[in-house]
Structure 1
């Protein structure tokens, strides 16, 4: 219908047309959610070298990371899993899925229903969905809180454990699979010192055309900041000693596995590490790669001085002035020196084979189809073909001019 046709409609007819169009949009949104769920199910993120599906969508359709995560979460709520035998399980929220499929609920409604159902028994879904069909998402959240209050108002109020009042420093570490789970409690002084270290590292990354604004949750930003802090400590020249040597990690794997990015390396803690991650770790100070030959004899034990000594790093800092990925403003102290030609492929530890990258973008380069090369002495990034079919080179314009 053209704009001129719109003008011929009576107000009620025009409003009815809008309502019908929105219902069609919601049906299409549901189809998009089903497609996202299928991409996630088949492991598309790993296939493309990304951390998860939300990061793929951020680049593919230029969504903010927060928006991309919302779409992935909605997709999980309205689609059922497929078992190894091929059976399709019912969605986590079956009534919500049915209402979304017929266009009665928008994606924002699905998010709201999923949010409130976390605090309610499954039997409450019908009431919540019926309410959502007649109200906006914010009202659904208020309705859900009221239902939860009515359901649990007889429950006893939780009390602060007496241990929480003791100003004692405690740390608990436990390996669960390939992840180290940490819980800590610090006294006032140590807590304030730790907070002062984490705060500047946990600031949101700047908004960039490639990645949009930093939509990580506060917990995610602080978790990444904690990991950054560990790497900063490992670069320090005042590390504690372990067995008479400064603290370091040793990675052991076969040379063929490192070159082919196949198989696993093992840390000195016996924790397995995939070969694709070893490439990034080999760039970092504080990690010693031990490469084994065919009979498992050590062929080459890298020294910390080979992983960009202070003299080379100072030259890189002067040239790059921080993370070189387009749009990133992380300062040099938060960056690794990345081998442009991988060390495992014969790349030299030299200024002409290096670029500074923050931990986030260092990981991305090692696990995706992004490429980085030196062009007239400037680190230049080439995006994956699926993101930019022309693969137009890009630079960090905060320091350098755009490459022609």
Structure 2
């Protein structure tokens, strides 16, 4: 980073005939342009800040902190007094960068915020929440200004949806920027809101959970149940939850498994969705770990081509993989009730079927 900062100070890019230092690094060390830009921005920022951040400078010289850690430490120290640097660096040595950012915010709040004591007059109300929407060609631009409560709610909803997709052999690492991930997360959130009235997890009931366990284990009060987010729950807790919740039995493996409403409706009703949640436990695409509430029910044989709205013609897919199935040469079929995906020929000339082993570790296709 010191060398990169020196290259910027000397305007080496101009001398070498490049537009900027990031372009130089792209060729000199074969970095992606995005990575090169991150290092240049980090180096330029730190070149002027290390004098003010001596503890960070020592940790950086020792190689004890990653580049991402250093950037976050420098970011949070903008809002903190110099004496707080040691605490922030010590925390950074034991935690990931995102946790350091949260720690810095909490520390700044504790140092500078003073909530009103009981009986004290409340501070003036902040400006009202604002939202503006305007179409720009084919896209809707949205800008918002939210108060602390509304902002915290939105952040809590967006954050889990915006995490990078898991790296898979089929798609590699998630190449989206943070802004792109959060934009897709906002679109996912809209989908969740639109179908909240028919999702068993969000049907408006005081308690609405989908748990899967054997009938014998429930009767004997032994063993475990599995929530739709794959969290294991002991049978004793299941029975306690059932005291204050409606119980909808789902029989798996019998003839009642293949519920079918034929061609009467295109939208999957809650009854079939419950079975899909119990069977697929989330997005069925290989390598994906999105939970059921982030998924759509997909017709294996398209409804427009005569496909029925039934368990035997359905699979749960997250928004990303639902789009991929419709727009690519990936194919999905049901093999003995297991969603099975056939890759395009360019990806696998043999087109060997694949299943999601992240959700079903024991599954395989002969």
TM-score by length of 2: 0.50
TM-score by length of 1: 0.46
Relative contact order higher in (CA < 8 Å, ≥ 6 apart)? 1
